[in-house]
Every structure is written in structure tokens, then in C-alpha cells.
């Protein structure tokens, strides 16, 4: 039977929302249309009243997933600097990406997105760029190329760290990967003055330890 326009729109939204969760949980190709429709409380036949194909749903679900990640980051960034870095710390945790409502598609669907169609990759790219903007702005500097470049590296590194933490079969190793990423990325790119002193001390220590490789490289050059 026909439904009201409001109901129809709400149903469509619900399908996209449920799909976004299930794709991130089980992967795009391991999640069937019928399964998603059942989770949305419908039979699979109604699917094509809302979408042209599964691919279209994949694109919209990816966009929705990225929007959630972007919104969460934006909210944290707008709250306070410490809220932002706390958010980054929680993003760099396994639990965050096991939460179907939060997890970042770039992490949970990474290699599948690289093979997805144009619309899906566009959605993923746009979300990525929005995150880059938030990171760049948070750094509080002018929108120079160098600041963007830095954000590009930092975000890619975060995605790689969580991806690896999820692949690895040893919980201790997984935690260690994330801890190292948090140490390096869940803080301002340029350390505070007080931290600079500590960093300088560490640099001396490291320099002493790296005398050998430096000498090797010098010989080679």
C-alpha cells in the first residue's frame, strides 16, 4: 500500500542508515540487500522503490558514514582544543571502529572503497577532504599548502594505524600500534613550548643512538 511522503522519506533514510552500519560491520560484498531491508523492518522487494541499485545505496551509505565521522570531529573541534585531542585519541582506538554507529568507512571499508564505483569513491573522497579541513583549521594556522600537507599525512597515518590494529591478530600488538599513533597524532603538530624542551632532550638521546646509521649513510652519499 502507498505511504505518505513523510513516511516514504523516513523509510529511505532508515534504509541508508541501517546499510551504513551493516556495510561497515560486515563489508560491502558480504552484506546483502535482503539483509539490510530486513534490518530496516521491510521485505527486500521494496528496495527498488527507493534505490536504482545496490551500488547507489553503497554510495549513499558511504556518504552517510563519512558525514557522521565528520560531524563528530567537527563537534569536538568546536567544543575545545582538549575535546578535539580527546576525540582524536578515541578515534585511534579499536572500540571506536567496532562501534557500528561511529566507525569511519575509510578504515572499515578501506580496500573495498578503493575498488568501488565513481559515486562511492567521490563520497569517500569528499568526507576525507572535510576531515582534512577540520584538522587544518584546528591547527589554527592560515590555510597554507604546508598545513594541508601536514593534515593529509596525519589523517592518512591515523587511518593506517587503525586499519593495521584491526588486521593484526595479537591484541597487545594492536594496542601498541594505536598507542604509538596516539602519541604522535593525538596532539598538536607543533608541540607546546614546555614539550619542546622534552623533545629536545629526547632528540639528543636519539642522536647518540643513531651515530652508526648516520655514519653509514654519509659513507654512501
Partner DNA sequence: TGTACATCAGTGAACGCGCGTTCACTGATGTAC
| Contact positions with a copy of itself (CB under 8 A) in 50-79 | none
**Residue 162 burial (CB < 10 Å; 0-12/13-18/19+)?**
buried
Q: Is 201 in the site for DNA (CB under 7 A)?
A: no
Pick from 4, 118, 194, 220: which binds DNA (CB under 7 A)?
Answer: 4
Q: If binding is defined by CB under 7 A, does position 5 make contact with DNA?
A: yes
100 touches, from a copy of itself, DNA, none (C-beta below 5 to 8 Å by class): none
- Shortest gap between Cβ of 181 and a copy of itself (angstroms)? 6
Which region, judged by CB under 7 A, interacts with DNA, from 39-47, 66-74, 108-116, 148-156?
39-47
DSSP string covering 87-98:
HHHHHTSHHHHH
> Residue 72 in contact with residue 102, Cβ under 8 Å?
yes
**Residue 199 makes contact with DNA by CB under 7 A:** no
Residue of 18, 20, 23, 54 interacting with DNA (CB under 7 A): 54
Q: Which residue has the cell 571499508?
A: 109
Which one of residues 76, 113, 135, 186 is an interface residue with a copy of itself (CB under 8 A)?
A: 113
Q: Say which entry of DNA, a copy of itself, none residue 142 contacts (CB below 5 to 8 A, set by partner kind).
A: a copy of itself
CA distance 82 to 191: 14
For 23, residues 6+ apart whose C-beta sits below 8 A from its C-beta are 31, 58, 61, 62, 65, 105, 109
Cβ proximity to a copy of itself: between 12 and 55 the closer is: 55
Q: Does 104 sit near a copy of itself (CB under 8 A)?
A: no
- Closest distance to DNA from the beta carbon of 112 (Å): 13
Q: Is 47 in the site for DNA (CB under 7 A)?
A: yes
Q: Nearest Cα to 17, choosing from 83, 113, 100, 137?
A: 100
Residue 72, φ and ψ in degrees, nearest 5: -60, -45
What is the number of H-type helices and E-type strands within the chain?
A: 13, 0
* Binder of DNA out of 8, 75, 144, 210 (CB under 7 A): 8
Nearest to 120 by CA among 53, 199, 30: 53
Amino acid at each position: 500500500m502507498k505511504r505518505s511522503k513523510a513516511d516514504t522519506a523516513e523509510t529511505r533514510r532508515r534504509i541508508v542508515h541501517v546499510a551504513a552500519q551493516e556495510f561497515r560491520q560486515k563489508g560491502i560484498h558480504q552484506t546483502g540487500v535482503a539483509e539490510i531491508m530486513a534490518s530496516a523492518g521491510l521485505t527486500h522487494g521494496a528496495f527498488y522503490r527507493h534505490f536504482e541499485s545496490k551500488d547507489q545505496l553503497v554510495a549513499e551509505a558511504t556518504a552517510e558514514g563519512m558525514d557522521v565521522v565528520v560531524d563528530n570531529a567537527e563537534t569536538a573541534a568546536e567544543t575545545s582544543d582538549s575535546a578535539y585531542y580527546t576525540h582524536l585519541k578515541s578515534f585511534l582506538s579499536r572500540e571506536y571502529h567496532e562501534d557500528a554507529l561511529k566507525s569511519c568507512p575509510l578504515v572499515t571499508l578501506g580496500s573495498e572503497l578503493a575498488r568501488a564505483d565513481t559515486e562511492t569513491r567521490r563520497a569517500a573522497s569528499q568526507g576525507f577532504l572535510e576531515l582534512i579541513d577540520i584538522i587544518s583549521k584546528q591547527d589554527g594556522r592560515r590555510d597554507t599548502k604546508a598545513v594541508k600537507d601536514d593534515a593529509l599525512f596525519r589523517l592518512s597515518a591515523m587511518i593506517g594505524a587503525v586499519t593495521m590494529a584491526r588486521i593484526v591478530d595479537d591484541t597487545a600488538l594492536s594496542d601498541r600500534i594505536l598507542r604509538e599513533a596516539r602519541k604522535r597524532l593525538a596532539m598538536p603538530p607543533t608541540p607546546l613550548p614546555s614539550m619542546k624542551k622534552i623533545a629536545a632532550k629526547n632528540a639528543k638521546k636519539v642522536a647518540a643512538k643513531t651515530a652508526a646509521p648516520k655514519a653509514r649513510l654519509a659513507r654512501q652519499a
